[in-house]
Structures are given as C-alpha cells and as structure tokens.
Amino acid sequence: MSSPEHNGAALPADARQAWEAYLAMRASKQAYFSLLSDVDEKYKTEGQPTQEESERLAELLAAHDANVKAFNAAMAAITEPASRQALLLKLQTASEE
C-alpha cells in the first residue's frame, strides 16, 4: 500500500493532477518498452513481429502519447509557483527510485 507521500495525496490539487498524469505516463512508457523488448528478443535472430504484436505495440505507443499530452496539459494548468515546486520535488524524488 502506498503512503500519502508516495501517491501524491500531500500535493496541492493542481499538482496532484499532474502527478497522477505523470504516473500514468510512466506506466504507459513501461508497458510499451516492456513489450518492445520482448518482441525484440523474440525476433532477434530471425522473423518479425506478428500483426497482433505490431498492433499491440501501436496501441501502447498511442496510449503513451495520449498520456504525455495529458501530463503536459496538467503541467500547464499549474499556476501556483508553490504547487509547481512541490511537484518538481516529487518528480525528482520519483526519478531517483
């Protein structure tokens, strides 16, 4: 179970929204690169991805693109400098995990 500090509950509402968008973006990136790595390993020596694998990769990439846009919009919506600073500190901590 996540602590309030880890899940963003301690952040101001506008920063919390950006934090949640960041988490979604991070998860979609991981999902895409995980499948990409699996497919790359599977076909390293010969063959190529199936139509289903290619379609799933495209779906994951599109989902990640949407999450990046949502994160950028959430960041742009933060108008309070203190909220932005709190989020930036949280993002820095998250990148060190």
Residue 4 has pLDDT above 60, yes or no: no
Q: Which residues lie closer than 8 Å to 42 by C-beta, 6 or more apart? A: 49
Closest by alpha carbon to 83, among 22, 18, 12? 12
CA dist., res. 84 & res. 90, Å (int): 10
Owning domain of residue 36: 14-95
- Does 77 reside within a domain? yes
Evaluate whether 12 touches 86 at the Cβ level (below 8 Å).
Answer: yes
Q: Is residue 37 part of a domain?
A: yes
1 in a domain, yes or no? no
Q: Is the pTM of this model over 0.75?
A: yes
16-61 confidence digits (pLDDT tens) = 999 999 999 999 999 999 999 999 999 998 899 999 999 999 999 9
Residue 8 lies inside a defined structural domain of this protein: no
- Residue 22: inside a domain: yes
The answer to whether position 72 is within a domain reads yes
Single-letter amino acid, residue 53: E
Which residue is associated with the tokens 């949280």?
90
First-residue to last-residue Cα distance in the chain = 16
Tally of domains within the chain: 1
Q: Is residue 53 part of a domain?
A: yes
